Amino acid sequence: MTVQTNRSKKDAPTRLVIHGGAGAMVRGKLTPEREFAFTQLLAQSLTAGHAILTAGGSSIDAVIAAIVVMEDSPLLNAGKGAVFTHTGINELDASIMDGATRMAGAVAAVSTIRNPIRAAHAVMKKSKHVMLIGQGAEAFAAEQGLEIVDPSYFFTQFRWNQLQKAITEDRVLRDHDADPAEPLPGKDKKHGTVGAVALDRYGNLAAGTSTGGYTNKQFGRVGDTPIIGAGTYADNHSIAVSATGSGEMFIRAAAAFNAAAQVRFQQLPIAEAADNTLSEIAAIGGDGGLILLDAKGNYAMRFNTSGMYRGTIGSDGVAHIGLFSGEEVPLT
Ligand code: ASP
């Protein structure tokens, strides 16, 4: 087997790009307090991943560190902030991929693993498999010494209220939705999910994604997030990608691999590859966003929704963050 690693490179510029979901976020609709809270959370996630990269750590470890910060926050739809299924439980999905070796790991429909991204990584490193689901994944995570929590750990009142509203209106909702007190938007246009792509100083790429899925989803439903090639993909020959959006359509469009294949085989610029993929998804009724990064440090954060929580930080250590459409702004 030939494995493309670039371990001879030692001081290549590093980069981390993250997202906290795409959706119908509109400037002015978010209270200043919530806008501040989301910005702070994205900054913390970037800082955690960047610290690993500057210390000479791997892109995989940077991706995990960035995602764990977002999973541990109740603000985003992953880990602690996960949305509820129709039956009132939290079923979490996550995946991770190493661009140097194309090794990958994923978990789906887990309810007791505090940090599903760590479990996905354990599947990649410690099992013979790529994906474990449900109780099998939970037993494996426990064996690996990962933190197991009571399912009630994932309860938040905000998400519970979202579920009650969704049940009343018979809707299956993506995240970043209107406040439960407000009327729901005309279309199911909000996405949650968190993700990260990173390039380490050895020139290796990695990608990871983690989610609670959709509010009021059928129990047992799995979206694109834990599917390698749909929600997550990384290959040093092309790019690292993490997705958020209408999971069913992202699966049908093989979204993450679709974008990577355009870069690898058509030599398209990454932003163009992302836009083409999002157009294909729009053509089958979906929407969302993609973050993408190549082994030279070129990156893109593209979405066809009104906003996407996103940020990036390079070797210079200056974080740029965006919530709505328009340019990302440097954090001062
Ligand atoms: N893509 C995720 C899923 O289908 C949802 C999202 O990004 O909000 O589970």
DSSP string, 254-321: THHHHHHHHHHHH---HHHHHHHHHHHHHHTT--EEEEEEETTS-EEEEESSSEEEEEEEETT--EEE
For residue 179, being part of any structural domain is answered with yes
Domain that holds residue 70: 15-303
Give the pLDDT score at 8: 52
How does pLDDT run across 87-104, given as a tens digit for each residue? 999 999 999 999 999 999
For residue 24, being part of any structural domain is answered with yes
pLDDT at 187 over 70: no
Distance in angstroms (rounded) separating the CA atoms of residues 102 and 115: 22
pLDDT at 159 over 60: yes
What percentage of the chain reaches a pLDDT higher than 90?
84
pLDDT at 86 over 70: yes
For residue 23 and ligand 1, the question of a CB distance below 6 A is answered with no
Q: How far is the CA of 83 from the centre of ligand 1 (A)?
A: 11
Compare 170 and 230 and report the one with higher pLDDT: 230
How does pLDDT run across 210-223, given as a tens digit for each residue? 999 999 999 999 99
Active site residues: 193
For residue 236 and ligand 1, the question of a CB distance below 6 A is answered with no
Give the pLDDT score at 182: 46
Q: What tokens does 71 get?
A: 């999973």
pLDDT at 43 over 60: yes
Nearest CA to ligand 1 atom 4: 247
Give the pLDDT score at 191: 60
Structural domains of the chain, count:
1
For residue 244 and ligand 1, the question of a CB distance below 6 A is answered with yes
For residue 320, being part of any structural domain is answered with no
For residue 83, being part of any structural domain is answered with yes
Largest CA distance in the chain: 58
Comparing 183-197, 206-220, 288-302, the range with the smallest average pLDDT is 183-197
Give the pLDDT score at 190: 56
Q: How far is the CA of 81 from the centre of ligand 1 (A)?
A: 14
How does pLDDT run across 172-182, given as a tens digit for each residue? 887 764 444 44
For 91-121, b/e burial (b = at least 16 CB within 10 A) is bbbbbbbbbbbbbbbbbbbbbbbbbbbbbbb
φ/ψ of 93, rounded to 5, equals -130, 145
For residue 212 and ligand 1, the question of a CB distance below 6 A is answered with no
- CATH code, domain carrying 53: 3.60.20.30
Instruction: Determine the residue type at 328.
Output: E
For residue 181, being part of any structural domain is answered with yes
For residue 170, being part of any structural domain is answered with yes
Give the pLDDT score at 173: 80
pLDDT at 249 over 60: yes
For residue 184, being part of any structural domain is answered with yes
pLDDT at 244 over 90: yes
For residue 167, being part of any structural domain is answered with yes
Give the pLDDT score at 10: 67
Band of the pLDDT at 26, cuts 50, 70, 90?
Answer: confident
